[in-house]
Structure 1
Amino acid sequence: MKNDTENIILFPKWREILEEKGLKALKEKRYEEALEAFEELLDYDVQGHEIIIGKLLCLMELGKHTEAQLLCEDAMHQKDDHYFHYVHIYLTILFQTNQYELLMEQVEHELKDRTLPEIMREQFQQLYTMSEKMKDDIHIEKSSTYIDDLMEAIEANDYKTQWRTIKKLQALGVVPASKVVDLLHKDGMHPVIQTAIFQWLQAEKYPYLVHIHKLGMELDVKPIDIPEIEVHLTVKQVLFIISKLEQSNPTLYELIVRLLYRYLYVKYPFFPANEDAPQIAKALEILGEQYFMGKVEEEINLDDRTQKYIEEITICEKLYLSIIED
C-alpha cells in the first residue's frame, strides 16, 4: 500500500518548519526527533540533499547502520551532484560495520573515476589503507584461533573438524604456519587431511621444500612444482582408456571418474606409475560395476598389479568418504 502522504502537497511554510526542526534537532544531537522530521519530509517526497544527509547522520548515530547503508546505496544510484558525498558516508558506514572487503572494492571502483575530487581521493585511499590493515589483523587473529582449533582436533583425532578448520584457514588466504606444514610428515595424520594441507600450500604458491610421509611413502618436494591432480599424465592416460564409456554408459563413466579422483586425492602428491594406467583403468571399471552399478563380477583371473590397484582404490575410497561427503 502506498503511503497516505504520497499524493498530498506539503505547503512551503510547513516544509520550511520541518526542515528547520530537523536540522536544529540534529545540531543539538536530538537524533530521534531529527529523524522523525526528516522521515516526514521524505514521506512527502521532499528529496533535498540536506534532508537525505540529515537522515543518514541520524541513522548512523542511532546505530541503525543497515537502514543507513540501504538509504546511502539508494542515494548513490541517483548519480546526482552529491554522489561522492554519499559515497564518503557509505564508506564510513562500511568501515564502522567492519565490512572491509566491500569498502575496498568500492574504493577501487571510485578511484578509477577521473572526476573524483582530489581531497576525496586522498580520504578514500586512507580508508582503503586502514581497511586493508584491519582486514589483515582480523585474518591474523582468526588464523591463530583456527590453528589452536586444528591442534585440538588433531589431539582428539577429530578428522572432520580438522578438515573444516583447514578449509577455514585456507579461505583466509594466509600462508600455513610451520607447525601446520609439519603435519605433512606427522605420524598418525589422516592422508585426506595431509592432502588438504598440501593443496593449501599450493594455493599460496609455497616455494619451499617440504617433507611428506603418508601411506607408507615419503617425499621431499616443493608444492609449487607439483601439478594438480587433473593434469597429471597418469590421470590423462586413464581417462583416455575409459573414454569409450562416456558415450556407451555415461553414468558409469562419471562414477568411475569420481572414483579415480578420490583415489588420487587421498594419495596426492604421490601418483601411480604412468605405465600402470591400463591396470588402474581396469581396476576402476571392475569397482565401478561392483560398487556403483550393483553388478557382482564372477571370479576372474587378474594380474597382480590390477588386483593391487583394486585394493588401493577400495581403501582410498573409504578414507576419502570418512571425511568428505560429495
Structure 2
Amino acid sequence: MTGPSQHGDEQGKDARAATTTPAEQIVAVPVRHPGRWVAAAILLVLVAMLLNSLLTNPAWGWKIVGQFLFSERILAGLWVTIQLTFFAMLIGVVLGVIIAVMRLSKNPIVSGVAWTYAWFFRGTPVLVQVFFWSFIAKLYPYLSLGIPFGPEFVYFDSNILIPIFTGVVLGFGLNEAAYMSEIVRAGILSVDDGQTEAAEALGMTRMKIMRRIVLPQAMRVIIPPTGNETISMLKTTSIAAIVGAGDLFTNAQQIYGSNYQQIPLLVVASIWYLLMTSILSIGQYFLERRFSRGVLSGRGGFLGRGARSEV
C-alpha cells in the first residue's frame, strides 16, 4: 500500500525530471524584408541611369568643364567668394553675439533696439539688402563725421568708401547678424541660470560671467547651426552676381555669356561650390566634436572623453 508521502515523492520526481529534460531547440527564422531589396534595386537602376546620362549626354560638355575648371577667371572668382563668405560671417558672428546679449538685457530700450534690428533684417530679403548697400551712394552721395545735429568735419565719397565688394559684404553680414543673434540667444538660454547666480554670488560682473561661464557652455548649442549658416552663406554669395561683385558665379556667368556654354560653366561653378561646402562640413564636424567633449550622445557620433567609437 502506497502512502501519501510516497505518492508526493513520485510527483516531485516527475516534476524535477520534466524541468531537467532538455528543451526542444528553437529555430529562429529571420524576418523577410522584400521591400528593402526592391527599393535598393530601384535606386541602383536610377543611379545607373544618371551615370549613363552624365557620361553619354554631350550637352554636359565635360571637355569644356575640364578646360575652365582651373581657369584664371574661375579661380579669381573662387577667391572672391571665399572672402565674401569669411567677412560676412565675421560680421554676422560678432554683431550677432552683441545683438543677442542686448536682447537679453533688462534695459527695455537696449533689448527693444536689438529686437527691432532682428525684426527688420530678418523681415527683408537679403537680395534687397545687398542692392541697398551696393548702391548706397544713390541715397547718400557723401558720408560725414561731426557733431550730431551740428557741424560736420570730415566728408567721404560713398562710392569710394563703400565699393561694390564692401556693399555686398555689409548686405550679407548685417543680414546674417540677425539670424546669428537668435542662434546665440538660444545657446545662452540653454545654460542653467543657477550657474549665473552662483557667479554673481562670487562677485563676478555680468560681462565676465558671459565671457567665462555662459558662452563657453553655450558653444555646444551654437556651433552646429553656425556651421549650417556658414555653408548657407557660401552658397548665398552667388546672389552677388546681380551686382557684378566678381565672385565665382559672376565670373562663370561672364564666361558663358561670351562662349554660350551655359551648362558646362554652371557645372564648373557647382563643382567648386560642392568642394567648398564639403570642406566646411568636415570642419563643422570636428568643431562639434571639440565642443561636445564630456557629453555622451547616442546620436550624431559624438562621444564623451575617453570613449571610443566603432564604425
Q: Does TM, scored on the shorter chain, surpass 0.5?
A: no
Query: Structure 1 length normalisation: TM-score?
Result: 0.20
Structure showing greater relative contact order (alpha-carbon pairs closer than 8 Å, 6 or more residues apart): 2
Higher CA-based Rg = 2
